[in-house]
Amino acid sequence: MFDRLFSLFSHDIGIDLGTANTLIWVKGKGIVIREASVVAMHKKTKKTIAIGNEAKKMVGKTPPSIITISPLKGGVIADFDATAAMISHYIGVVHEVGNVLPVAWSRPRVVIGIPSSVTEVERRAVWEAALSAGAREAFLIEEPMAAAIGENVSVFAPTGIMIVDIGGGTTEIAIISLGGIVVSKSLRIAGQEMDRAIVHYVRLRHGLIMGERTAEDVKIKIGSAFQKTENRRQKTERDKEKTEKDPSSVIRHLSSEKMAVVRGRDIETGLPKSLRLTEVEIREALAPVLAEILEAISDVLQEAPPELTNDILTHGILLTGGGSQLSGLDQLIVERTRIPVVLSEDPMTSVVRGTGKVLEDNQLLQRVKVVGGLK
Ligand code: ADP
Ligand code: MG
């Protein structure tokens, strides 16, 4: 009876607690919050200064008295207090935005998507954090499951589905069948590792020290995993057309890859320097990281029962997560695995959309939750 009363005033909330981004879904409203998973706090007092995008802006620029924390570094809860502060902050914000009763009175139901590598102890910890943040009930579901549900895949069918979610700190690879995760792997290599690879490459190759934020910008702007090739007919037609007009244009086309100018500090002089980077260089820098992701995909495929592998060969790999937006990544996976790839249309929201669907359907929630219910 009280439960029903509470639910009249509360917003049921779905949370994608990602390593790079936190997204919040409110039942009946959709996505209301998209913020970086970063918390800035005073080093000594641990007092929170900023949460989300505000805090991300401070990364790499803080004085010694302030630290910025990614609470979910590498897919594990690196800082429990910061994670709890973040959950509690957003539950509060959602209620303010909704202009309803304060959290303490309204007591929302909360579904949280967590990386599958989070340990049992940490799961309990997140669950408790949600309850202490004011949730009436808190449920945890695994991110690959949430992502698959978000992508409208029928997870209960006796068909193997492979999902690869390349986030910021982790790449979650899972094969789902009959409503459960059959094989999975959580690799601590994803988007942020790509940024670090660019930093590393530029330092070695050009003697320039650049920040990871700058590297991320470069990756998004000109990063690619695969050299684009047109199909032969398109190419011959274009070449013919161009060479007729200007015979040197074929050569020019070969060098038409994208470029970006970056600023950093010269390793020798210590002074600011700017540099022009090409798409080819970034592809070279990213290659080792992508090779590891591909290897993990192969590992999971090899561990899968043959019947499921067959299904995956037919239906393809579902690719999602912010990192999957790297240009040509789908082509690279197809080339290396010989398995078709289906790209999510909105890869950064698959998990949170999944939590939203689960909020609407209690039966589904009960079937896919890994932790949850009343205390
Ligand atoms: P998480 O679920 O771990 O929070 P997300 O799914 O939000 O991660 O993805 C964040 C990652 O996606 C970041 O590393 C970011 O740099 C990367 N990313 C975002 N857009 C692009 C893009 N266009 N190309 C390549 N990487 C991208
Ligand atoms: Mg994610």
Q: Please state, in angstroms and as integers, the Cα–Cα distance from residue 311 to each residue in 141, 156, 304, following that order.
A: 24, 14, 11
CA–CA separation, 310 vs 143, rounded Å? 24
Task: Quickly count helices (H) and strands (E) in the chain.
Answer: 15, 17
- How are beta strands 208-209 and 180-187 bridged, if at all? unpaired
Average confidence (pLDDT) over 27-50 = 94
Say yes or no: CB of residue 326 within 6 Å of ligand 1: yes
pLDDT band at 372 (very low <50, low <70, confident <90, very high): confident
CA 172–ligand 2 middle distance (angstroms): 8
Closest residue by CA, ligand 1 atom 26: 323
CA 105–ligand 1 middle distance (angstroms): 36
CA 5–ligand 2 middle distance (angstroms): 33
Token digits of residue 281: 């260089």
Q: Higher-confidence residue: 65 or 247?
A: 65
Closest atom, ligand 1, to C-alpha of 321: 6
pLDDT of residue 72: 86
Residues 45 and 15: beta-carbon distance below 8 Å: no
Average confidence (pLDDT) over 22-44 = 94
**Prediction pTM value:** 0.89
Closest atom, ligand 1, to C-alpha of 170: 3
Closest to 214 in 3D by CA, of 200, 195, 201, 197: 195
pLDDT of residue 251: 43
Closest atom, ligand 1, to C-alpha of 327: 24
Average confidence (pLDDT) over 339-363 = 96
CA–CA separation, 119 vs 80, rounded Å? 13
Closest atom, ligand 1, to C-alpha of 169: 3
Model pLDDT for residues 184-226, shown as the tens digit of each residue = 999 999 999 999 999 999 999 999 999 999 999 999 999 999 9
CA 157–ligand 1 middle distance (angstroms): 30
pLDDT of residue 250: 44
CA 216–ligand 2 middle distance (angstroms): 17
pLDDT of residue 97: 59
Q: Is the pLDDT of residue 91 over 90?
A: no
Closest residue by CA, ligand 1 atom 20: 322
Residues 60 and 70: beta-carbon distance below 8 Å: no
CA 167–ligand 2 middle distance (angstroms): 5
Closest atom, ligand 1, to C-alpha of 194: 14
Residue-averaged pLDDT of the chain: 88
CA 159–ligand 2 middle distance (angstroms): 24
Say yes or no: CB of residue 167 within 6 Å of ligand 1: yes
Say yes or no: CB of residue 223 within 6 Å of ligand 1: yes
Token digits of residue 166: 């390349």
In angstroms and rounded to an integer, the radius of gyration of the C-alpha atoms of the chain is 23
User: Which ranges of the chain does DSSP label H, i.e. alpha helix?
Assistant: 2-9, 53-58, 80-97, 103-106, 120-132, 143-150, 191-206, 212-222, 232-245, 249-254, 279-303, 306-315, 329-337, 350-360, 362-368
Model pLDDT for residues 156-191, shown as the tens digit of each residue = 999 999 999 999 999 999 999 999 999 999 999 999
Closest residue by CA, ligand 1 atom 8: 167
* Strand ordering across the sheet containing 272-278: 208-209, 259-266, 272-278
CA 168–ligand 1 middle distance (angstroms): 5
Closest atom, ligand 1, to C-alpha of 348: 6
What angle, rounded to 10 degrees, do the helices at 279-303 and 191-206 form? 140
Out of 143, 171, 220, mutate this one to test ligand 1's pocket (max ligand atoms within 8 Å of CB): namely: 220
pLDDT of residue 249: 46
Residue 177, judged by CB atoms within 10 A of its CB (0-12, 13-18, 19+), counts as buried
Say yes or no: CB of residue 325 within 6 Å of ligand 1: yes
pLDDT of residue 99: 53
Residues 147 and 350: beta-carbon distance below 8 Å: yes
Closest to 307 in 3D by CA, of 181, 158, 155: 158
